[in-house]
Amino acid sequence: MSVTETSKIEELANKEYKYGFVTDIETESLPKGLNEEIISQLSAIKKEPPFMLEWRLKAYKHWLTMKEPHWPNVKYDPINYQDISYYSAPKKKPQLNSLDEVDPELVRTFEKLGISLEEQKRLSGVAVDAVFDSVSVATTFKEKLSELGIIFCSMSEAIRNHPDLIQKYLGSVVPYTDNFFASLNSAVFSDGSFVYVPKGVRCPMELSTYFRINAANTGQFERTLIVADEGAYVSYLEGCTAPMRDENQLHAAVVELVALDNAEIKYSTIQNWYAGDKEGKGGIYNFVTKRGACRGVNSKISWTQVETGSAITWKYPSCILQGDNSIGEFYSVALTNHRQQADTGTKMIHLGKNTRSTIISKGISAGFSNNSYRGLVKIVKKADNARNFSQCDSLLLGDKCGAHTFPYLEINNPSAQIEHEATTSKIGEDQIFYLNSRGIATEDAINLIVNGYCKEVFKELPMEFAVEATKLLSVSLEGSVG
């Protein structure tokens, strides 16, 4: 790369920083291990105000009293928490000169996912010519948001620049005492995203981590907080369809959502972490705590997720329906193949009156994988006229995989209306032959059936995301038959 090109990119990168997309840390990694000293150093590197360090230390002390949970229906070797480095400077990916230098397997997958050439380069760390689209897009995007008073920045920046909001809301939905992985995250989280949408503002575009380019290395312990003030609306997209590799095996993120009176938050995820090889070796453990609080009256939170990656997924996006008339929704497609294990579902906690929740869960198991749905619907005594509808379907491809459903109900108010439907089906040879006999090849036949099965969830995704999700499923299922 020529000198002028390099400086141009640096210039763009700096411009980025000006708009707050990049954190300015250039420190080396911290040594492996976890103790108070390490946490203090981490907080210092990140130039955090004292309240943050205090909070991290409290979380750490609490974490020491906790035990790693083993109730999910997943199996893995013990994790050595002292063998992890809890901070490493955002590394620049090794720069490659062209896509020819990229793992051909990866390029093949990109092509099948329909990811554009420019985007393929960006994702795999190939040097991109002077002006790459996403930068300029991100910049105009950012200006538009600030006009409306919307804050969208990295968590590190938010801690420094908006301490009042952070102190008010961080940990208010998922306290540091919540669970083993959430406590660990609270103590050591490295970065993440922060969104605040002020009163009465409808965020005019989908907010996506995609626009926070360079933020790729948020690390194993990501922290996200989204606050929609009264009457506000925001739709947030997390993740992307491109396969994400990471040398860190353990990922324990926390996502907190807060919706005040009449506010609505839509949170969509496509998760495609590296799942390991066909034997399941080397895949990511994804232990996430995602929770939304419908704190205000008439507020609404929807979680939509398409989970295809990770060796092990342990994840229950939940809604606490505090405000009267508030609504919680959970739409999920979880696909497991090869040796993957997923234990996922949701919790709908009805505290307010006339609260409603909907759960649509579609599990797809192929290969030797194991897919469990675990869901809790809880209705407290005071929650009059609460309603829940749950539908948990499992689809099996082949007979070496497993699907399990664990629905839990805690109903303490007689006016509650609860409906639960569950089905398990299998893609039959006769269905595939029928489609073959109409000119459709087996893999396309399976995609057709799987996409039909997931329709109710996909329609909740923003358009482009839905298209990507469809392609992603077909790539993930490749080779699962025949």
Partner 1 sequence: MLLEIKNLHANIEGKEILKGINLKVNIGEVHAIMGPNGSGKSTLAQVLAGREEYEVTKGEIIYNEKNLLELSPEDRAREGVFLAFQYPVEIPGVSNTNLLKTALNEIRKYQGQPELDAMEFLSLIKSKMKLVELDQTLVSRSVNEGFSGGEKKRNEIFQMAVLEPKLAVLDETDSGLDIDALRIVANGVNKLKSEKNAIVVVTHYQRLLNYIVPDFVHVLYKGKIVRSGDKSLALELEEKGYDWIKAPSDSVEVA
Interface residues with partner 1 (CB under 8 A) are: 425, 428-431, 433-442, 444, 448-449, 451-453, 455
Least distance to partner 1 from the beta carbon of 481, Å?
Answer: 13
Do the strands 191-197 and 151-154 form a parallel or antiparallel pair, or are they unpaired? antiparallel
Nearest CA-CA partner of 74 in 277, 274, 314: 314
Length, in residues, of the chain? 482
Least distance to partner 1 from the beta carbon of 454, Å?
Answer: 8
Using the minimum distance from each CB to partner 1, give the nearer residue, 78 or 439: 439
Least distance to partner 1 from the beta carbon of 321, Å?
Answer: 30
Q: Which long-range contacts (CB under 8 A, 24 or more apart) does 110-114 make?
A: 110/242, 112/471, 112/474, 112/475, 113/241, 113/242, 113/468, 113/471, 113/472, 113/475, 114/467, 114/468, 114/471
Whether residue 206 contacts residue 237, with contact meaning beta carbons closer than 8 Å, is answered with yes
Using the minimum distance from each CB to partner 1, give the nearer residue, 10 or 444: 444
Using the minimum distance from each CB to partner 1, give the nearer residue, 51 or 433: 433
Using the minimum distance from each CB to partner 1, give the nearer residue, 7 or 442: 442
Least distance to partner 1 from the beta carbon of 236, Å?
Answer: 28
Least distance to partner 1 from the beta carbon of 444, Å?
Answer: 7
Using the minimum distance from each CB to partner 1, give the nearer residue, 13 or 435: 435
In degrees and rounded to multiples of 5, residue 100 shows phi and psi of -60, -25
Using the minimum distance from each CB to partner 1, give the nearer residue, 435 or 467: 435
Helices (H), 256-341: none
| DSSP structure string for 23-51 | ------PPPB--SHHHHHHHHHHTT--HH
Least distance to partner 1 from the beta carbon of 225, Å?
Answer: 37
Q: How far is CA 399 from the centre of its chain?
A: 30
Least distance to partner 1 from the beta carbon of 399, Å?
Answer: 17
Residue 307, SS3 per DSSP: strand
Whether residue 354 contacts residue 327, with contact meaning beta carbons closer than 8 Å, is answered with no
Nearest CA-CA partner of 367 in 319, 421, 308, 455: 308
Tokens for 454? 């997931």
Tokens for 119? 């985007």
| Distance of alpha carbon 188 from alpha carbon 81, whole angstroms | 12
Using the minimum distance from each CB to partner 1, give the nearer residue, 66 or 440: 440
Using the minimum distance from each CB to partner 1, give the nearer residue, 403 or 416: 403
- The CA-based angle 444-449-455, given to 5 degrees, is 120
Using the minimum distance from each CB to partner 1, give the nearer residue, 408 or 433: 433
Least distance to partner 1 from the beta carbon of 451, Å?
Answer: 8
Least distance to partner 1 from the beta carbon of 467, Å?
Answer: 15
Using the minimum distance from each CB to partner 1, give the nearer residue, 6 or 442: 442
Least distance to partner 1 from the beta carbon of 249, Å?
Answer: 35
Helix axes 180-188, 50-64, angle to 10 degrees: 150
